[in-house]
Structure 1
Amino acid sequence: MMTKKTKWIIRICYGLGLLYIALFVHQPYHFLLLNTFLAYIPIEIAFHISPKYPRNTLLFWLGIVLWLLFYPNAPYLLTDLFHLSLLHPYADTGLIRLSVSMWIYFIYMLLAVIPSVLLAMWSMMQVTKSIVRRYNMHKRFAEIGIVLIFTTLSSIGIFIGRFLRLHTIYLLISPEWVLKPIFNMWSWQMLAFVCLMTLLQGVIYVVLRVIKNTN
C-alpha cells in the first residue's frame, strides 16, 4: 500500500519535472511535456482506487475505465525512445559521439520514460488488486486474466497513438472523429505490433511483481 507521503513526493517530483521540461527542454524534444503529463494521469487516478474505494460501484468502475483510457500513455513513452535518433548519436567513425548536450537529452528521455513506465505498472497492479479483492476473485488466475486484458488493450492504444497520431483526449472530446481510422487500422502488422507491446509490458510487470514479492 502506497503511503500518502509517497504519493505527494511523486506528485511534487512530476510537477517540478514538468516545469523543468516546459522551461528548459527545447525542440525537437518539447513533446516530452505533453507525453509525460499524459503518462502521469493514470498514476494519479490509481492513487484514488482501492478495493474499498470508491465505495459506489458505478464510481469504482468509472475510475477504472478512466484509468484504462489514459494508461497507454505511459508505455507509449517507450516508443518515444526512437526519437533519440534525432540526436544523431553516431560520429563518422561509427562510434557514439561524446557530446554533453546529446547525453543531457538522453538523460531527459530516460528520466521521463523509466519512472513513468514503472509507476504506471504499479498503477496496473493497484487497479488489478482492487478488482480482485473487491469481488473476491481467485487471486492468481484473475490477476493473469485482468493484466492480459489491460496490456492488450493498452498495446492497441499505443498503436493508435503512435501510428494514427490520436491522443486519449480525442476519445473524450470527439469520439465520432476517431472511430473511422480505428475501424480501418486492423492488419497483420498492427496485430504483430500489439503482440510485441503486450509481451514487453507483461515482462516488465512480471519483473516488478517478482521484486515486490521478494521484498
Structure 2
Amino acid sequence: MSARIFITGNITYIFLSWNLFLAWVPLALAFMLRKTYHQGDHPLSKVVLMPLFSLWLLFFPNAPYLVTDLVHINYHYGARYWFDLVLIYLFAFSGLSTGMLSLYWVHQVIKEMFSPIWGWLAVAGSSLLAGYGVYLGRILRWNSWDLFTHPLQVLKDSTLQIHDHTAQAITLVFGLLLFSIYFLFISLLQYKYEPYGQIQH
C-alpha cells in the first residue's frame, strides 16, 4: 500500500487498510472467546461467552468482505492494473486468513462445549450469516458498528431484505465459499506429515 501511494501519488485504495483492520476484529474477539472459555473456573467466564460470540458473529463478515473490494479495480489494462489486482488480492487473502483462523477458534470452543455436530452447525450457520453480512455491507452499505448507531434501521433492512433474490444469491454464494474454504483449511490442519513423505490423517 505504501509503495502504491509513493509511486502514484494518490491514496485511492487507502480504504483497504481500514477494511483489513476490521477483518482483524473478529480474530481478536475469537481469541478472547477462546481464552475466556479455557478459564472455565473463573466466575465470569460463562457469563461473557455469549456476548463475545455475538460480537464475533457481528464482525465476522468483515473478513470475507475484503474479497468484494475487487469491484474497485480499474479495468484499463496496464502496469497499474496488475499491481492493483495483486494488491487487492493480498488484502483479500489476509482478510480470509484471519477470518478462517477466528472461525477455527470459535469452532473448537463450540465443539468442546457441546458436540462436534454443533460445532459444524455453528460453522455452517456463521458462513451463511457472514454471506448475508457481505450483502448488507456491499449492496446496502451498512457497517458492523451501524447496529449500535442505527439499530432499528439496520434491523429493519436486515429483515426486509431476506426475501430479496439478490440477497439470497449473494448469501448462498459467499456462504458456500466460506464453508468450502474453511473445510479445506481445517483439512490441511489435520494432516500429519511423516518423516519419509507419507501422509496420514
Fold agreement, TM-score > 0.5? yes
RMSD of aligned alpha carbons: 2.2
Q: Which residue does 1:179 correspond to in 2?
A: 155
Give unpaired runs (5+ residues) of structure 1: 1-16, 90-96
Offset at 1:193?
1.6
Q: 2:107 aligned with 1:121, yes or no? A: no
Q: CA separation of 1:132/1:78 partners in 2, compared to 1, >3 Å: closer, same or farther?
A: same
- Matched ranges for 1:145-160 at <5 A: 145-160=121-136
Deviations 1:165-197 (A, max 9, x none): 000010122212323322332312321221111
Q: 2:31 aligned with 1:29, yes or no? A: no
Q: Which residue does 2:188 correspond to in 1?
A: 211
Q: Which residue does 2:29 correspond to in 1?
A: 45
* Percent of paired sites with the same residue: 27
TM score, norm. by length of structure 2: 0.82
Whole-angstrom CA distance in 1 between matches of 2:129 and 2:86 = 29
Whole-angstrom CA distance in 1 between matches of 2:10 and 2:178 = 29
Q: Which residue does 1:10 correspond to in 2?
A: none
Q: Which residue does 2:84 correspond to in 1?
A: 105
Whole-angstrom CA distance in 2 between matches of 1:188 and 1:178 = 19
Offset at 1:62?
1.0
Contact 1:170 1:178 survives alignment (8 Å):
yes
- Tell me which of 118, 128, 140 is aligned to 1:164: 140
Q: 2:65 aligned with 1:88, yes or no? A: no
Q: CA separation of 1:22/1:161 partners in 2, compared to 1, >3 Å: closer, same or farther?
A: farther
Contact 2:23 2:98 survives alignment (8 Å):
no
Q: CA separation of 1:152/1:80 partners in 2, compared to 1, >3 Å: closer, same or farther?
A: same
- Tell me which of 54, 60, 66 is aligned to 1:71: 60
Q: Which residue does 2:175 correspond to in 1?
A: 198
TM score, norm. by length of structure 1: 0.77
Q: Which amino acid aligns with 1:174?
A: H
Whole-angstrom CA distance in 2 between matches of 1:22 and 1:103 = 12
Q: Which residue does 2:199 correspond to in 1?
A: none
